[in-house]
Amino acid sequence: MENPERPEPAGGTLYVVSTPIGNLRDITLRALDILRSVDIIAAEDTRTTRVLLDAYNIDTECMSCHSRNENRRTHTILRMLEEGKSVAVVSDAGTPALSDPAGRLIAAAIDAGFPVIPIPGPSAALAALVASGFRMDRFRFEGFLPLKRKRRARLAELATETRTVILYESVHRLRKTLVELRQYLGPRRVSVSRELTKRHEETVRGSMDEVIEYFERNEPRGEFVIVIAPPAEKDTAPPDQE
Ligand code: SAM
Protein backbone atom coordinates (compact mmCIF):
# COMPACT_ATOMS: atom_id res chain seq x y z
CA MET A 1 0.00 0.00 0.00
CA GLU A 2 1.35 3.39 -0.92
CA ASN A 3 1.96 5.72 1.98
CA PRO A 4 0.11 8.95 1.16
CA GLU A 5 1.67 10.83 4.06
CA ARG A 6 4.75 13.01 4.19
CA PRO A 7 8.13 11.31 4.59
CA GLU A 8 8.98 10.37 8.17
CA PRO A 9 10.82 10.95 10.35
CA ALA A 10 11.30 14.65 9.71
CA GLY A 11 14.27 16.42 11.27
CA GLY A 12 13.68 18.68 14.26
CA THR A 13 10.50 16.79 15.14
CA LEU A 14 9.38 15.13 18.36
CA TYR A 15 7.35 11.95 17.84
CA VAL A 16 5.22 10.80 20.78
CA VAL A 17 5.00 7.07 20.19
CA SER A 18 2.48 4.78 21.88
CA THR A 19 3.80 1.31 22.67
CA PRO A 20 2.16 -1.97 23.81
CA ILE A 21 0.54 -2.30 27.26
CA GLY A 22 1.53 -5.96 27.46
CA ASN A 23 1.14 -7.79 24.18
CA LEU A 24 4.20 -6.87 22.12
CA ARG A 25 2.23 -7.28 18.90
CA ASP A 26 0.11 -4.25 19.78
CA ILE A 27 2.31 -1.76 17.99
CA THR A 28 1.55 -0.01 14.74
CA LEU A 29 3.64 -0.37 11.61
CA ARG A 30 4.14 3.37 11.66
CA ALA A 31 5.37 3.29 15.26
CA LEU A 32 7.94 0.65 14.28
CA ASP A 33 9.05 2.74 11.27
CA ILE A 34 9.51 5.78 13.49
CA LEU A 35 11.35 3.91 16.23
CA ARG A 36 13.63 2.35 13.62
CA SER A 37 14.51 5.58 11.86
CA VAL A 38 14.63 8.44 14.37
CA ASP A 39 18.03 9.67 15.56
CA ILE A 40 17.28 8.87 19.18
CA ILE A 41 14.58 7.40 21.41
CA ALA A 42 13.92 9.03 24.79
CA ALA A 43 12.57 6.20 26.96
CA GLU A 44 11.10 6.13 30.46
CA ASP A 45 13.19 3.01 31.13
CA THR A 46 15.70 2.10 28.47
CA ARG A 47 15.78 -1.57 29.55
CA THR A 48 12.01 -1.96 29.18
CA THR A 49 12.07 -0.26 25.79
CA ARG A 50 15.02 -2.38 24.69
CA VAL A 51 12.86 -5.52 25.09
CA LEU A 52 10.38 -4.05 22.61
CA LEU A 53 13.10 -2.86 20.23
CA ASP A 54 14.88 -6.23 20.34
CA ALA A 55 11.63 -8.01 19.45
CA TYR A 56 11.58 -6.01 16.22
CA ASN A 57 15.34 -5.90 15.56
CA ILE A 58 15.53 -2.17 16.08
CA ASP A 59 18.88 -0.86 17.26
CA THR A 60 18.20 2.87 17.54
CA GLU A 61 20.09 4.59 20.33
CA CYS A 62 18.08 5.18 23.52
CA MET A 63 18.43 7.67 26.34
CA SER A 64 16.47 7.74 29.58
CA CYS A 65 13.76 10.32 30.15
CA HIS A 66 11.78 9.63 33.31
CA SER A 67 9.95 11.71 35.90
CA ARG A 68 13.12 12.42 37.90
CA ASN A 69 15.28 13.67 35.01
CA GLU A 70 12.63 14.98 32.62
CA ASN A 71 13.49 18.67 33.20
CA ARG A 72 17.17 18.09 32.47
CA ARG A 73 16.44 15.80 29.55
CA THR A 74 14.05 18.34 28.08
CA HIS A 75 16.95 20.79 27.64
CA THR A 76 19.07 18.11 25.98
CA ILE A 77 16.25 17.03 23.67
CA LEU A 78 15.38 20.62 22.69
CA ARG A 79 19.04 21.07 21.71
CA MET A 80 18.89 17.94 19.58
CA LEU A 81 15.71 19.15 17.88
CA GLU A 82 17.46 22.47 17.23
CA GLU A 83 20.28 20.58 15.55
CA GLY A 84 17.70 19.03 13.23
CA LYS A 85 17.58 15.61 14.86
CA SER A 86 14.41 13.56 15.04
CA VAL A 87 13.45 12.27 18.48
CA ALA A 88 10.87 9.69 19.56
CA VAL A 89 9.62 9.64 23.13
CA VAL A 90 8.13 6.47 24.62
CA SER A 91 7.04 5.36 28.07
CA ASP A 92 7.19 1.86 29.53
CA ALA A 93 3.71 1.05 28.24
CA GLY A 94 0.90 2.70 26.37
CA THR A 95 0.67 6.37 25.51
CA PRO A 96 3.40 8.65 26.89
CA ALA A 97 2.26 11.46 29.20
CA LEU A 98 -0.96 9.64 30.18
CA SER A 99 -0.10 9.08 33.86
CA ASP A 100 3.44 8.77 32.55
CA PRO A 101 6.42 11.06 31.88
CA ALA A 102 6.77 13.17 28.71
CA GLY A 103 4.10 15.81 29.36
CA ARG A 104 6.68 18.46 30.28
CA LEU A 105 8.85 17.57 27.29
CA ILE A 106 5.89 17.78 24.91
CA ALA A 107 4.82 21.18 26.27
CA ALA A 108 8.38 22.52 26.09
CA ALA A 109 8.85 21.32 22.50
CA ILE A 110 5.58 23.00 21.48
CA ASP A 111 6.57 26.22 23.28
CA ALA A 112 9.90 26.20 21.48
CA GLY A 113 8.11 25.88 18.14
CA PHE A 114 9.08 22.30 17.20
CA PRO A 115 6.56 20.02 15.50
CA VAL A 116 5.16 17.42 17.91
CA ILE A 117 3.60 14.45 16.14
CA PRO A 118 1.62 11.79 18.01
CA ILE A 119 1.92 8.21 16.79
CA PRO A 120 -1.34 6.77 18.16
CA GLY A 121 -1.58 3.34 19.69
CA PRO A 122 -2.53 1.49 22.85
CA SER A 123 -3.64 3.02 26.10
CA ALA A 124 -4.97 1.01 29.04
CA ALA A 125 -7.61 3.70 29.66
CA LEU A 126 -9.35 3.36 26.30
CA ALA A 127 -8.98 -0.43 26.20
CA ALA A 128 -10.68 -0.69 29.63
CA LEU A 129 -13.36 1.83 28.64
CA VAL A 130 -14.46 -0.18 25.63
CA ALA A 131 -14.35 -3.40 27.65
CA SER A 132 -16.71 -1.86 30.24
CA GLY A 133 -19.67 -1.44 27.92
CA PHE A 134 -20.60 1.75 29.82
CA ARG A 135 -21.39 5.01 28.09
CA MET A 136 -18.33 6.05 26.09
CA ASP A 137 -19.54 9.13 24.25
CA ARG A 138 -18.48 11.21 27.24
CA PHE A 139 -16.04 10.13 29.91
CA ARG A 140 -13.61 11.46 32.48
CA PHE A 141 -10.08 10.17 32.70
CA GLU A 142 -8.71 10.57 36.23
CA GLY A 143 -5.52 8.53 36.09
CA PHE A 144 -4.39 7.64 39.63
CA LEU A 145 -6.32 9.11 42.54
CA PRO A 146 -4.16 11.31 44.78
CA LEU A 147 -2.70 9.25 47.61
CA LYS A 148 -2.94 11.63 50.52
CA ARG A 149 -4.20 15.10 51.18
CA LYS A 150 -6.39 15.63 48.15
CA ARG A 151 -7.80 12.13 47.98
CA ARG A 152 -11.03 12.71 49.90
CA ALA A 153 -11.76 15.92 48.03
CA ARG A 154 -11.24 14.13 44.70
CA LEU A 155 -13.51 11.25 45.73
CA ALA A 156 -16.20 13.73 46.80
CA GLU A 157 -15.83 15.49 43.46
CA LEU A 158 -16.23 12.19 41.59
CA ALA A 159 -19.49 11.57 43.45
CA THR A 160 -21.07 14.42 41.47
CA GLU A 161 -19.61 13.34 38.11
CA THR A 162 -22.27 12.34 35.61
CA ARG A 163 -19.94 10.83 32.99
CA THR A 164 -18.21 7.46 32.95
CA VAL A 165 -15.00 7.68 35.02
CA ILE A 166 -11.73 5.89 34.28
CA LEU A 167 -9.15 5.37 37.04
CA TYR A 168 -5.77 3.69 37.10
CA GLU A 169 -4.96 1.72 40.22
CA SER A 170 -2.11 -0.33 41.56
CA VAL A 171 -2.51 -3.89 42.75
CA HIS A 172 -1.78 -2.89 46.35
CA ARG A 173 -4.56 -0.35 46.58
CA LEU A 174 -7.26 -1.91 44.41
CA ARG A 175 -9.42 -3.32 47.23
CA LYS A 176 -9.13 -0.21 49.39
CA THR A 177 -9.96 2.08 46.48
CA LEU A 178 -13.03 0.05 45.48
CA VAL A 179 -14.34 0.28 49.05
CA GLU A 180 -13.75 4.04 49.10
CA LEU A 181 -15.48 4.43 45.75
CA ARG A 182 -18.48 2.51 47.11
CA GLN A 183 -18.51 4.78 50.13
CA TYR A 184 -18.31 8.07 48.21
CA LEU A 185 -20.09 7.28 44.95
CA GLY A 186 -22.76 4.87 46.17
CA PRO A 187 -24.01 1.76 44.41
CA ARG A 188 -22.72 2.37 40.87
CA ARG A 189 -21.91 -0.27 38.30
CA VAL A 190 -18.23 -0.82 37.85
CA SER A 191 -15.92 -2.66 35.47
CA VAL A 192 -12.41 -3.62 36.53
CA SER A 193 -10.01 -4.71 33.80
CA ARG A 194 -6.71 -6.30 34.66
CA GLU A 195 -3.72 -7.43 32.63
CA LEU A 196 -5.24 -6.13 29.39
CA THR A 197 -3.75 -7.71 26.27
CA LYS A 198 -1.81 -10.23 28.41
CA ARG A 199 -2.22 -13.91 29.19
CA HIS A 200 -4.31 -13.36 32.34
CA GLU A 201 -6.49 -10.61 30.94
CA GLU A 202 -9.80 -10.35 32.78
CA THR A 203 -12.67 -7.87 33.06
CA VAL A 204 -14.93 -8.11 36.09
CA ARG A 205 -18.23 -6.23 35.72
CA GLY A 206 -21.04 -5.77 38.20
CA SER A 207 -22.33 -3.64 41.02
CA MET A 208 -19.74 -2.06 43.26
CA ASP A 209 -20.63 -4.58 45.97
CA GLU A 210 -20.30 -7.55 43.61
CA VAL A 211 -16.92 -6.43 42.35
CA ILE A 212 -15.66 -5.70 45.88
CA GLU A 213 -16.78 -9.15 46.90
CA TYR A 214 -15.10 -10.72 43.87
CA PHE A 215 -11.76 -9.19 44.82
CA GLU A 216 -12.22 -10.24 48.43
CA ARG A 217 -12.46 -13.82 47.18
CA ASN A 218 -9.76 -13.45 44.51
CA GLU A 219 -6.40 -11.95 45.37
CA PRO A 220 -5.78 -9.02 42.97
CA ARG A 221 -2.82 -9.62 40.67
CA GLY A 222 -1.39 -7.50 37.88
CA GLU A 223 -2.27 -4.06 36.58
CA PHE A 224 -5.75 -2.59 36.89
CA VAL A 225 -8.08 -0.03 35.38
CA ILE A 226 -11.33 0.80 37.17
CA VAL A 227 -14.21 2.11 35.06
CA ILE A 228 -17.24 3.50 36.89
CA ALA A 229 -20.62 3.83 35.21
CA PRO A 230 -22.51 7.13 35.33
CA PRO A 231 -25.13 7.37 38.07
CA ALA A 232 -28.00 7.48 35.57
CA GLU A 233 -29.94 4.30 34.93
CA LYS A 234 -29.40 4.45 31.18
CA ASP A 235 -25.67 4.01 31.49
CA THR A 236 -25.18 1.68 28.54
CA ALA A 237 -27.17 3.57 25.92
CA PRO A 238 -25.63 3.44 22.44
CA PRO A 239 -23.40 6.52 22.38
CA ASP A 240 -24.08 7.93 18.95
CA GLN A 241 -27.86 7.50 18.84
CA GLU A 242 -28.84 10.25 21.27
N1 SAM B 1 0.62 5.51 29.77
C2 SAM B 1 -0.06 4.28 30.12
C3 SAM B 1 -1.29 4.13 29.22
O4 SAM B 1 -1.39 4.82 28.20
O5 SAM B 1 -2.16 3.31 29.53
C6 SAM B 1 -0.41 4.23 31.60
C7 SAM B 1 0.80 4.26 32.49
S8 SAM B 1 0.45 4.25 34.21
C9 SAM B 1 2.03 4.54 34.90
C10 SAM B 1 0.31 2.54 34.56
C11 SAM B 1 -1.12 2.15 34.92
O12 SAM B 1 -1.86 1.93 33.72
C13 SAM B 1 -1.20 0.85 35.69
O14 SAM B 1 -1.05 1.06 37.09
C15 SAM B 1 -2.60 0.40 35.37
O16 SAM B 1 -3.54 1.13 36.13
C17 SAM B 1 -2.72 0.83 33.90
N18 SAM B 1 -2.28 -0.25 33.01
C19 SAM B 1 -1.17 -0.26 32.22
N20 SAM B 1 -1.12 -1.41 31.51
C21 SAM B 1 -2.22 -2.13 31.85
C22 SAM B 1 -2.74 -3.40 31.45
N23 SAM B 1 -2.10 -4.15 30.58
N24 SAM B 1 -3.90 -3.80 32.00
C25 SAM B 1 -4.57 -3.04 32.89
N26 SAM B 1 -4.11 -1.84 33.31
C27 SAM B 1 -2.97 -1.39 32.80
pLDDT digits (tens, 9 = 90+) for 185-231: 999 999 999 999 999 999 999 999 999 999 999 999 999 999 999 99
Mean pLDDT value across the chain: 94
pLDDT in tens, 31-68: 999 999 999 999 999 999 999 999 999 999 999 999 99
Q: Are 221 and 200 in contact (CB under 8 A)?
A: yes
Domain that holds residue 166: 124-228
Q: pLDDT value at position 149?
A: 87
Statement to judge: residues 198 and 212 lie in one domain: yes
**Residue 238, in any domain of the structure:** no
Nearest to 29 by CA among 45, 59, 8, 49: 8
Q: Residue 89 to residues 56, 83, 95, 112: CA-CA distances in angstroms?
A: 17, 17, 10, 17
Strands 116-119 and 139-144: unpaired
Q: Whose CA is nearest to atom 19 of ligand 1?
A: 124
Does 166 contact ligand 1 (Cβ within 6 A)?
Answer: no
Q: pLDDT band for 241, please (50, 70, 90 cuts).
A: very low
Statement to judge: residues 112 and 132 lie in one domain: no
Statement to judge: residues 145 and 210 lie in one domain: yes
Q: pLDDT band for 233, please (50, 70, 90 cuts).
A: low
Statement to judge: residues 45 and 22 lie in one domain: yes
Mean pLDDT, range 77-94, rounded to an integer: 98
Q: pLDDT value at position 176?
A: 97
Statement to judge: residues 106 and 183 lie in one domain: no
| CA of residue 202 to ligand 1 center, whole Å | 14
Domain count, the chain: 2
Q: pLDDT value at position 3?
A: 60
**Residue 93, in any domain of the structure:** yes
| CA of residue 23 to ligand 1 center, whole Å | 13
Statement to judge: residues 142 and 114 lie in one domain: no
Statement to judge: residues 56 and 77 lie in one domain: yes
Q: pLDDT value at position 7?
A: 87
| Statement: residue 138 has pLDDT above 70 | yes
Mean pLDDT, range 96-106, rounded to an integer: 97
Mean pLDDT, range 115-129, rounded to an integer: 98
Question: Of the candidates 119, 141, 167, which is a domain's last residue?
Answer: 119
Nearest to 205 by CA among 194, 192, 217: 192
Statement to judge: residues 143 and 110 lie in one domain: no
Question: Of the candidates 86, 103, 119, which is a domain's last residue?
Answer: 119
Question: Of the candidates 85, 119, 153, which is a domain's last residue?
Answer: 119
| CA of residue 94 to ligand 1 center, whole Å | 7
**Residue 77, in any domain of the structure:** yes
Q: What is the DSSP letter of 38?
A: S
Which CATH number does the domain housing residue 182 bear? 3.30.950.10
Q: How far, in Å, CA of 160 to CA of 155, rounded?
A: 9
pLDDT in tens, 147-162: 988 999 999 999 999 9
